[in-house]
Amino acid sequence: MSTETTAATNAKAIDYGLDNWRKLHIDQQPTWAEHPDYAPTIAELNALPPLVFAGEVDAMRSQLAEVAEGNAFLLQGGDCAETFEGATADKISGRVKTLLQMAAVLTYGASMPVVKMGRMAGQFSKPRSSDMETRGEVTLPSFRGETVNGYDFTPEARAHDPKRMLRGYHTSASTLNLIRAFTKGGFADLRSVHAWNRGFTDNPNHARYEQTAREIGRALKFMEACGVDFSALKTTDLYTGHEALVLDYERALTRIDSRTDLPYDTSAHFLWIGERTRGLEDAHVDFLSKVRNPIGVKLGPTTTAEDAIALINKLDPNREPGRLTFITRMGAGMIREKLPAIVEGVQREGAKVVWVTDPMHGNTISVPSGYKTRRFNDVMDEVRGFFEVHEALGSFPGGIHVEMTGDDVAECLGGSDPVNEEEFADRYESLCDPRLNHAQSLEIAFLVSEYLKGRRGTK
Ligand code: PEP
Ligand code: MN
């Protein structure tokens, strides 16, 4: 990474336009610019080492290019909002384990490599529909994720505190350290991952997935019998990604790489722009257009084909496969109606993006008890709609983006081993959106694997 002098680095930042966003309209930001800790915190973040390295970011972009070409599939999953307290060894290993289990099943279904990415090690800031939250007589700033403020409903906790960005950085560093250890240290061995999945399919509620699990087991035995070198299957790459929301943080972690002389946002391998901050002339799109990382944009049901094309022109002017991922989150009732025009528009433009479904954010409902939840069947219906639309238009359904955890929480309703509303009182843990629990996550992977197999069959 860069060994440039500060003055030279600053000059390059100006050349690359890394601070243009400061002149533009920006939504969903903390109000901490006048805070006495603001400037020292930014200075400290500027001096900290990168969390990810430019070479890894480039490798991920190349793998995403394979997804754009229809030769690999992308799995992205993790918490809606990570928490500092939740960054424990048990919870991180549970999430990594679940992602690896899902990836093994998807690899089999797709007969393709699966690019794995956690919504992990940096997913600490949240856009909100309202700046303020009222409970009874009291109105306070909304919770915006732990790099901005605290969840407790007190004036102290809800105050925007720039120093929280440092805790976000250090928590991301320790999470990433564990992810690297787990994925490189033997934990990711495909044979153990398959054995864990047998635990899932041995549950009579999941009997319908047993056949697929048996087929994977046979494939592994076949490889072993052929003398395949399993050492290659003992380690894997698990990339990190989060919503690039708080631009003070993203800008402070952006570095000019000494090898390529180009800017990389080193807070994560992949950054995405949320549905609420994708305005074409706004700060988030401008800032992310300047960094070399692969970029995602969430597209909700109001997106037009023109919007999508304008985003491509701004974020991927060189039409570089792997650079841009569109993460559609239309809702089960809208996907079949809204997605085709967007895909056709992008096809007419001759652009190659990665198409990913986020079947979570268009399917959030509130139940009378006050909890936000999602029905497993709605989630699956959106996934099915996504596959149908891409199948009909000849585009490649490149991946799935889910909010999930490795724990046995009760936050989303349904699944074969169904979660009911009565269980929320004891096992609803998310501070933000409801996540699929361990079993629901695996079930999605088995179902998507079946679609992918079907797709292969029709080729
Ligand atoms: C999210 O991914 O948690 C999120 C807020 O998504 P969206 O921008 O699609 O609403
Ligand atoms: Mn969410």
Give the pLDDT confidence score for residue 10 in this predicted structure. 84
Take residue 339 and report the two structure tokens written for it.
């997605």
Is the C-beta atom of 30 inside 6 A of ligand 1? no
Region 316-342 average pLDDT? 98
d(CA 116, ligand 2 centre) in Å: 19
> Looking at this protein, which amino acid is placed at residue 195?
A
Picking from 111, 108, 104, the residue whose alpha carbon sits closest to that of residue 215 is 108
d(CA 60, ligand 2 centre) in Å: 23
Best residue among 284, 330, 433 to mutate for probing ligand 1's pocket (most ligand atoms within 8 Å of CB) is: 433
Residue 98: pLDDT over 60: yes
**Secondary element (H or E) of residue 397:** strand 397-403
Give the pLDDT confidence score for residue 5 in this predicted structure. 62
Task: Return the SS3 of 337.
Answer: helix
Chain segment 19-59, per-residue pLDDT in tens: 999 999 999 999 999 999 999 999 999 999 999 999 999 99
Tell me the whole-structure pTM to 2 decimals.
0.97
Q: How does residue 458 score in pLDDT terms, banded at 50, 70 and 90?
A: very low
Give the pLDDT confidence score for residue 2 in this predicted structure. 47
Q: How does residue 456 score in pLDDT terms, banded at 50, 70 and 90?
A: low
Is the C-beta atom of 275 inside 6 A of ligand 1? yes
The owner of tokens 């309209």 is 25
Is the C-beta atom of 80 inside 6 A of ligand 1? yes
Cβ atoms within 10 Å, residue 280: 13
Shortest-distance atom of ligand 1 to CA 127: 5
Q: Are 378 and 364 in contact (CB under 8 A)?
A: no
DSSP annotation of 74: E
Is the C-beta atom of 127 inside 6 A of ligand 1? yes
Give the pLDDT confidence score for residue 4 in this predicted structure. 52
d(CA 272, ligand 1 centre) in Å: 10
Take residue 284 and report the two structure tokens written for it.
């988030």
Angle at the Cα of 386 from the Cα atoms of 454 and 355, rounded to 5 degrees? 100
d(CA 80, ligand 2 centre) in Å: 4
Shortest-distance atom of ligand 1 to CA 298: 9
Chain segment 154-189, per-residue pLDDT in tens: 999 999 999 999 999 999 999 999 999 999 988 899
Region 99-127 average pLDDT? 97
Is the C-beta atom of 329 inside 6 A of ligand 1? yes
Chain segment 212-235, per-residue pLDDT in tens: 999 999 999 999 999 988 888 899
Sign (positive/negative) of CA torsion 20, 26, 28, 34? positive
Q: Is 36 exposed, middle or buried (0-12, 13-18, 19+ CB in 10 A)?
A: exposed
d(CA 43, ligand 2 centre) in Å: 30
Separation of alpha carbons 459 and 457, rounded Å: 6
Residue 3: pLDDT over 70: no
Share of residues in the chain with pLDDT > 70 (%): 98
Secondary structure of 196-216 as H, E, C letters: HHHHHHCCHHHHHHHHHHHHH
Residue 457: pLDDT over 60: no
Q: Which ligand is nearest to the CA of 123?
A: 1
Shortest-distance atom of ligand 1 to CA 243: 2
d(CA 148, ligand 2 centre) in Å: 16
